Amino acid sequence: MRNRFFEETPTPQSVLSDGYAPSEDEPFMNPNQKKYFRNKLLRWREELMHNSLETFHHLQETSAASGPDFADKASVEEELLSELRARDRERKLIVKIEEALHRIDDGSYGYCEETGEQISLRRLEARPVATLSIEAQERRERYERVYRA
């Protein structure tokens, strides 16, 4: 899988008209819907990457400014740990975004990986990295609740 972190700035072909939103009235995963979701994923990834850079700069500033007070250090360290946990979740999300972009390229985006059925546009709008339909996700969650304990 190629690295897209510094690639894929929107090109004129990938720009949709303002206000475009996928509709159930058009063919599923037509070129406009693919462009729409690709752009949505790219913007989301860019935002997450920006947050990572901000965290990096914040860590540099915090380590340079830490003083001798142990209570202050403990407070700062707890804040940093919380921030790092959030960034780790975002790092995992970036991997999912990369996988979703790859699925757009190979034509499998928008289809449930268990059933092969279409994932609803509403679900993809809310969770663009979704790989399961609502029904398949609910089945998986029920199974995990029953067999996890």
> What is the dotted CATH code of the domain comprising 29-109?
1.20.120.910
Helix ranges restricted to H, the chain: 31-65, 70-106, 121-126, 134-148
Amino acid identity for residue 41 in this structure = L
- How many angstroms separate the CA atoms of 98 and 86, rounded? 19
| CB contact at 8 A, 124 and 37 | yes
CB under 8 Å to 117, separation ≥6 — which residues? Answer: 111, 133
In the three-class reduction of DSSP (H, G, I as helix; E, B as strand; rest coil), residue 48 is classed as helix
* Range of weakest confidence among 17-21, 39-43, 72-76, 108-112: 72-76
CB under 8 Å to 76, separation ≥6 — which residues? Answer: 62, 66
For the chain, which residues make up each domain, given as ranges? 29-109, 110-149
- How many angstroms separate the CA atoms of 118 and 64, rounded? 51
For residue 10, is pLDDT > 80? no
83 pLDDT band, cuts 50/70/90, is confident
